[in-house]
């Protein structure tokens, strides 16, 4: 029997890509999962699919850049299931543009979702973990671009670098409270707009930067997230899952 059975989890950005595969992996372990996303159609479809398979899941609309929305997401989950054991702060966005042409609105959108959204998720999850569960597990989806630069991705680099350091800081701050905080740092994953059709010739360039010879799959990153959730001796880790991108 899974030691995660009947644990309560939230996955932001849970309706697609890495988030969707993480929701499915948690549900397979009999975790009760809140699928949190701003795409109601995709979230409801996933909710229906998993409910029909006997999973205990629910969809919650969330705008992670809005603290009140994140607080409501956490409170609604606790109201439904009684407590919160796990949160995967996975929602994110990227904008590719030259920095001198980037508007503040574009920059602020990336920072608000990728960094502020993680802060809001951690803050309100920790409050509930301290009050109800007495322990907890936080996973932040970061990126290898939190470690290495990428031309045209200044705001994304900045947001993910901050998430990596935030993760270490929170891990130290809450270790004595038995709340573990880790991050997964994927390489380029074939999901959403990262595919041959969308990227054209640049797709082959991306593939060439991964020594393993291909891009990652969302389920492979979900497997890494599950490792961080299940291994109770790991905290403060930024786990790189990148097909060798950063070892060159």
Residue 245 counted as domain residue: no
Secondary structure string (H, E, C) spanning the chain = CCCCCCCEEEEECCCCHHHHHHHHHHHHCCCEEEEEECCHHHHHHHHHHHHHCCCCEEEEECCCCCHHHHHHHHHHHHHHHCCCCEEEECCCCCCCCCHHHCCHHHHHHHHHHHHHHHHHHHHHHHHHHHHHHCCEEEEEECCHHHCCCCCCCHHHHHHHHHHHHHHHHHHHHHHHHCEEEEEEEECCECECCECHHHHCHHHHHHHHCCCCCCCECHHHHHHHHHHHHHCCCCCCCEEEECCCHHHC
Query: What is the tally of structural domains in the chain?
Result: 1
For the record, the structure tokens of 82 come out as 């009684």
Residue 43 has pLDDT above 90, yes or no: yes
Q: With contact defined as beta carbons under 8 Å apart, do 229 and 139 qualify?
A: yes
Q: What is the mean pLDDT of the chain?
A: 95
Quote the domain boundaries for residue 67. 8-239
Token pair in block for residue 121: 């998720």
Q: Is residue 171 part of a domain?
A: yes
Q: Which residues contact 104 (CB under 8 A, 6 or more apart)?
A: none
Torsion 240-143-41-87 (CA) sign: positive
How many residues are listed for the chain in this entry? 248
| CATH code: domain of residue 84 | 3.40.50.720
Flag whether 28 is in a domain. yes
* 3: in domain: no
Place of tokens 């059709």: 197
pLDDT tens-digit readout, 214-240:
999 999 999 999 999 999 999 999 999
Residue 244 resides in a domain:
no
Is 1 a domain residue?
no
Model pLDDT for residues 126-184, shown as the tens digit of each residue: 999 998 767 999 999 999 999 999 898 999 999 999 999 999 999 999 999 999 999 99
pTM of the model: 0.95
Model confidence pLDDT, tens digit, residues 120-134: 999 999 999 998 767
Residue 103 falls within a domain, yes or no?
yes
Q: Residue 156: which residues within 8 A CB-CB, separation 6 or more? A: 94, 95, 110, 114, 143, 145, 150
pLDDT digits (tens, 9 = 90+) for 179-203: 999 999 999 999 876 878 777 888 8
Catalytic residues: 156
In this predicted structure, the answer to whether residue 26 has a pLDDT above a threshold of 80 is: yes
């Amino acid at each position: 029997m899974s030691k995660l059975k009947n644990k309560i989890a939230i996955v932001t950005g849970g309706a697609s890509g890495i988030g969707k595969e993480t929701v499915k992996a948690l549900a397979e372990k009999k975790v009760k999962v809140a699928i949190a996303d701003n795409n109601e159609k995709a979230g409801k479809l996933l909710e229906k699919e998993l409910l029909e398979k006997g999973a205990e899941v629910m969809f919650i609309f969330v705008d992670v850049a809005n603290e009140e929305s994140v607080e409501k997401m956490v409170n609604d989950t606790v109201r439904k299931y009684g407590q919160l054991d796990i949160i995967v702060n996975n929602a994110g966005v990227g904008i590719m543009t030259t920095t001198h042409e980037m508007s503040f609105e574009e920059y602020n959108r990336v920072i608000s979702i990728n960094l502020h959204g993680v802060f809001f998720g951690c803050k309100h999850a920790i409050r509930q973990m301290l009050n109800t569960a007495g322990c907890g597990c936080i996973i932040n989806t970061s990126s290898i671009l939190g470690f290495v630069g990428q031309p045209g991705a200044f705001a994304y680099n900045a947001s993910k670098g901050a998430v990596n350091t935030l993760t270490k800081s929170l891990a130290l701050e809450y270790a004595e409270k038995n709340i573990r905080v880790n991050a997964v740092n994927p390489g380029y994953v074939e999901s959403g707009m990262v595919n041959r059709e969308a990227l054209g010739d640049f797709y082959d360039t991306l593939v060439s930067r991964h020594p393993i010879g291909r891009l990652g799959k969302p389920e492979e990153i979900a497997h890494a997230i599950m490792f961080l959730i299940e291994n109770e001796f790991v905290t403060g880790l930024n786990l790189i899952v990148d097909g060798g991108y950063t070892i060159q």
